Amino acid sequence: MRARARVEGTVQGVGFRPYVFKLAGELGLTGWVLNDERGVLLEVEGAEQAVATFLDRLPAEAPPLAAVDSVTTERCPALGETGFEIRASPTGGPPDALVAPDSATCEDCLRELFDPADRRHRYPFINCTNCGPRFTIVRGVPYDRPLTTMAGFEMCARCRAEYEDPADRRFHAQPNACADCGPSVRLIGMDGEADGDANPIAAAAGALVAGAIVAIKGLGGYHLACSAADERAVATLRERKRREDRPLALMAADLDAARSLVELGAGEEELLVGRRCPIVIARRRPGARVAESVAPRTADLGVMLPYTPLHHLLLEVCGAPLVMTSGNLSDEPIAHDDEDAQKRLGAIADLFLVHDRPIHIRTDDSVIRATAGGPLVIRRARGYVPGAIKLPLESARPLLAVGAELKNTFCVAKGRRAWVSHHIGDLENWETLESFRSGIEHFERVFDVRPEVVVHDLHPEYLSTTHALELEGVETLGVQHHHAHFAACLAEHGEQGPAIGVVFDGTGYGEDGTVWGGELLVGGLAHVERVGMLAPVRMPGGERAIREPWRMACVWLEAALGEPVSPLPGIEADRWEQVAALGRSGVASPITTSAGRLFDAAAAILGLRTEVSYEGQAAAELEGAADLGERSSYELEFVGDDPLVLDPRSLLRELVADRDSGTDLALTAARFHNGLAAGIASACARLAEAGGLDTVALSGGVFQNRLLLERTSEQLVGAGLRVLRPVRLPPNDGGISYGQAAIAAASLSTP
């Protein structure tokens, strides 16, 4: 018999065709296989049982980087062929193939990299079909070398022979190269001239050990690196980069080196050594040889392992961990173009370690936390993007969802597939906005999405909203911010609702024009109802209250204690009274239900932080201060039934009493988290009983807090409820665009 099979999913550039070739040969089958715009197409012919076995094994034994979404088959007339061939890719059809994410260097390539007898010994661009660059070098599909940034490198005879041999590990590995024909590395000095050193990686390592700051061109952009143990170098990097307090990422040579920096459980280790190699946030190990200014006043460190051959070589020579932070000025997108990098990073870096393989699309490092319920994505980028995430129902029209203002991602979707972009960042400057626009163009081209509907946040001043409303020839749809958070969590689990949604974040534009951020929702993708919230208070000074948490402490203390209170240490009495007066009058003080601002208030009351230099800083320090083993809690009260109001005033009164009695900070911080978790679970149990529901979805940036997420999940499960939480997407605004797309798909499908 003869059968034709269409394989869809991430099946190009991952060794799928040679895998088919070998499997067919093992079973004595003839036929052919090729890549096209939709994925992989093949025909096999032979004994009926052998063909059936082939089709059974085809998805089950796929290569490690492949992700098979579907295999559809049909019988064909037998042709009596005598061999099996891999055919060239046809062109001309609409692209629908999935592009694979970039992948860390595999074990086979690492062995060759450090083998003196191998022809690629210490070649910093070694790769094969099981590893290396993918998304960052793709210009179009099908994924073939002419449509990548490797098009300008003509393979030498030996590389060409590997590339054309179906039995070779590098068969059709599009970035395949060696020192004779591929990209090369240079070290550039402050004068912009090449250093001329015969071993630029060793020279860069020597400079790092000596205290220099080096800009390093990597897979998806530039890093800024320095010695992690050198306080002077780290402080200089912070000053030049204009990054006051936000923690800097570290790169350690291997798992043992990472263990010397942070306390690793099985979950953290699995993330570190996987093919995605994200930055993993873990508890700092006492006595770790890391400069204090790497992550001031935080209990955690962000650590990753080398994921390119260049990184492996650099860390081997350095012999110690490096700071490896995004190559940008604070709040700008990561630099990826060589000329732009030297212009923007020239005042920061002492040296540039560069290469001549172009990066087509900038992609930052992903950031993950391990939790009791699985990975918690903080930033989804390299290694994960552009992996498609299915929608729970088919969208009737092609979509573009433009996301939020902070931690922006966008999403394109058609049918059941949605592609959420890499982390773009905060749309607060021209460079990031340009990255947002160019990224949309790239995704629309690569995935052949021509949007008919563009989905945006309701906030009229978001630059993403402005972009959506300026597009011509499309229908626009506004989606409430917290509905999008809720929908993102439901949809990634393949659900449409109804369920209860707990969406806690910093700020979001509410349907009543106030600042929401502590919401209890009931409903699903197509419709939600706001059934509860944190008690509303004023934000004195508006956005200044975000940068100065003591302002939220001022209004919450007055609300909790029922009378004017003394200023916190370090705050002048006049300023305190002025802010209190703003809160009482409502002038320049919008109403908010924000859980993020409640965390800010608690951190300020406990003396942790009265001002912040980055979003979520006060809350992160409050979580870091908590005793993870403590189970006692403060009480969170309820007021009313419709809506159900979670009133934290009693909780804050207990917190103040403990503070004033000298109770240890670790206990008070833990009791705050535990009390909030218990209150959320109790409220959800009440709503579940009233509405006949059994499922709760947790989302919003506040649930980046591992302690709150784990405690809340435990309490909900203990109450007999099923818990959904973001797994493939961030709970923060990085997941908003996918939620917007899911809501639009449901709306378009609703009669």
Q: Residues 365-412: pLDDT tens digits? A: 999 999 999 999 999 999 999 999 999 999 999 999 999 999 999 999
Confidence at residue 92, expressed as pLDDT on a 0 to 100 scale: 64
* Separation between Cα atoms, residue 129 and residue 167, nearest integer Å: 12
φ, ψ dihedrals at 533, nearest 5°: -170, 165
* Rounded-to-integer distance, Cα 550 and Cα 537, Å: 14
Beta-carbon neighbour count of residue 80 at 10 Å?
8
The CATH number that domain 388-492+734-749 falls under is 3.30.420.360
Length of the chain: 751
List Cα–Cα distances, 14 to 63, 69, 143, 144, 622, in angstroms.
Answer: 7, 14, 10, 11, 44
Joined tokens for residue 484: 């999008």
Q: In the CATH hierarchy, which top-level class contains the domain 185-355?
A: alpha beta
Tell me what pLDDT residue 397 has: 96
| Bridging pattern class, strands 591-592 and 351-355 | unpaired
Q: Provide the 3-class DSSP secondary structure of residue 422.
A: coil
Query: What count of Cα atoms within 13 Å lies in the side-chain half-sphere of residue 31?
Result: 29
Separation of alpha carbons 470 and 446, rounded Å? 23
Residue 271's alpha-carbon distances to 266, 267, 281, 562, 718, in angstroms, are: 9, 6, 10, 48, 28
CA-CA distance, 578 to 584, in Å (whole number)? 10
Report domain extents, the chain: 2-86, 185-355, 388-492+734-749, 503-726
CA dist 142 → 39, 99, 463 (Å): 8, 9, 33
Query: Which of the listed CATH numbers 3.40.50.720, 3.20.20.10, 3.40.50.300, 3.30.70.100 matches domain 2-86?
Result: 3.30.70.100
Residue type, 288: A
Q: Are 75 and 102 in contact (CB under 8 A)?
A: no
d(CA 48, CA 57): 14
Spatial distance between the Cα atoms of 678 and 693, rounded to a whole number of angstroms: 19
Question: How far is 227 from 548, CA to CA, in rounded Å?
Answer: 32
- Whether 388-492+734-749 shares its CATH topology with 503-726 is answered yes
How many Å from the N-terminal Cα to the C-terminal Cα in the chain? 45
Chain segment 230-277, per-residue pLDDT in tens:
999 999 999 999 998 999 999 999 999 999 999 999 999 999 999 999
CATH for 503-726? 3.30.420.40
Looking at residue 419, the DSSP 8-state letter turns out to be E
**Any idea what DSSP says for residue 399?**
E
pTM attached to this predicted model: 0.94
Chain center to CA of 268: 16
CA angle 455, 456, 461 (to 5 degrees): 160
Tokens 């690793």 locate to 264
Nearest alpha carbon to residue 221 among 330, 136, 342: 136
Tokens read off for 241: 């980069």
Instruction: In whole angstroms, give the CA distance from residue 607 to residue 626.
Output: 14
If one counts every other C-beta atom within 10 angstroms of the C-beta of residue 72, the result is 9
Burial class of residue 547, CB neighbours in 10 A (0-12, 13-18, 19+) = middle
CA separation for the pair 473, 489 (Å, rounded): 30
Q: What stretches in the chain show pLDDT beneath 70? A: 91-97, 191-196, 750-751
The DSSP secondary-structure symbol of 148 reads B
Q: What is the pLDDT of residue 192?
A: 66
How far, in Å, CA of 84 to CA of 32, rounded? 5
Tokens 């093919």 -> residue: 275
How many other CB atoms are found less than 10 A from the CB of residue 237? 23
